[in-house]
Amino acid sequence: MPELPEVEATRDNLERWSAGRRVVRVERRDPALEESLERLVGARFVGWSRRGKALAAKTDRADGAVLHVHLGMTGRWVRDPEPERAHQRLVIELAGPGPRCLAYLDVRRLGTARLVGDEVEAFEGLGIDARDARPSAEVLARVLGEGAGAASATLKARLLDQKRLAGLGNIAVSECCFFAGVHPHERVRALGMKAWARLAAGIAEHLERTLATTIGRDEIAYVSEGGDNPFVVYAREGEPCPRCGAPIVRAVAGGRVSFFCVRCQPEVSG
Ligand SMILES: [Zn+2]
């Protein structure tokens, strides 16, 4: 499932492939996608932006319409796929030099591509971006540690709440909490400013590490699809903790799985 680094790498690809280029044809192969996408024909892509896991492409349309994209669980954008390649939901053909077309593939069809009024609408309801906003300890303490429900909220639930901090998913929560030495099920009210500072650094470390191996690839692999596990604790149940050697533990809370080291990440609030 794509998280912030995969979505940012997708943004970077789409920007390089399409910025400044005019749409000559839109082929909606999935009837569930809105017909309004055909209004893109004739428009030029100006540039792609991202907040959390949402993408928005500005165009030169007079009405200011923006293409809003969310990859859902299995969505991906590729350039010039083989015609017989499965799960192509949308194909956008471009004029001029560069890839002839951009294709949106989505096996589980939980992602979306639609035209919206402007970028504000595309990013509606999302909190600050976990990478671009470079949240400090003070910002995290406020955004994740306060508000209704803060007395009982766990750090993991708050980190996954896209309305507060946008872009982190299950993988990021396990990795960031490990780097920070904080238990993912810790109550936010138990965290002091030192812990928030370690978390701010942990979030940045995870995102930059992951982005470094993702950005610039034409086709982005998602961890759930197999292959090497590039993560420090995620999906490493029973393997030794890279810091202390204790076995990494897997636990499920709220239907979401986390991986952590009980020695390096002691839970203080129980
Ligand atoms: Zn450990």
Residue count of the chain: 270
pLDDT at 261 over 70: yes
List the beta strands (DSSP E) in the chain.
Answer: 23-28, 45-51, 54-59, 66-70, 75-79, 88-94, 101-106, 112-116, 128-129, 165-166, 249-253, 256-260
Q: Does the structure show a pLDDT above 70 at 225? A: no
Give pLDDT, residue 269.
Answer: 75
Write down which residue in 106, 122, 138 finishes a domain: 122
Query: Active-site positions?
Result: 2-3, 53, 256
Question: Total structural domains in the chain?
Answer: 2
Q: How far apart are CA 159 and CA 200, in angstroms?
A: 11
Give residues with Cβ within 8 angstroms of 38, minimum separation 6: 26, 28
| Residue 223 scores a pLDDT above 70 | no
> Hey, is 173 helix, strand or coil?
helix
The pLDDT tens digits for 84-132 are 999 999 999 999 999 999 999 999 999 999 999 999 999 999 999 999 9
142, pLDDT greater than 90: yes
Domain endpoint, select from 91, 122, 153 = 122
pLDDT above 90: residue 232: yes
The alpha carbon of 133 is separated from its chain's Cα centroid by a whole number of angstroms, namely: 14
Whether residues 95 and 162 share a domain: the answer is no
Would you say residue 226 has pLDDT above 70? no
d(CA 176, ligand 1 centre) in Å: 14
CATH of the domain at 65: 3.20.190.10
Residue 268 lies in a domain: no
- Residues 137, 246: one domain? yes
Continuous segment of H or E residues that includes residue 207 = helix 193-214
137 alpha carbon, distance to own chain's centre: 21
Last residue of a domain, one of 95, 122, 149: 122
Give yes or no for residue 238 having a pLDDT over 90: yes
DSSP, collapsed to helix, strand or coil, labels residue 186 as coil
The domain that contains 135 carries what CATH number? Answer: 1.10.8.50
Residues 133 and 114 in one domain: no
| Same domain as 101, residue 158 | no
Q: Are residues 23 and 37 in the same domain?
A: yes
pLDDT exceeds cutoff 70 at 189: yes
How far does residue 62's CA lie from ligand 1's centre (Å)? 56
What is the reported pTM? Answer: 0.95
Q: In angstroms, what is the span from residue 73 Cα to ligand 1's centroid? A: 31
C-alpha 179 – ligand 1 centre gap (Å): 10
Distance from residue 205's CA to the centre of ligand 1 (Å): 18
Domain of 238 in residue numbering reads as 128-260
Whether 68 shows a pLDDT value over 70: the answer reads: yes
Ligand 1 center to 140 CA (angstroms)? 24
Same domain for 117 and 14, yes or no, is: yes
Q: Answer yes or no: is 236 within a domain.
A: yes
**Residues 62 and 164 occupy one common structural domain:** no
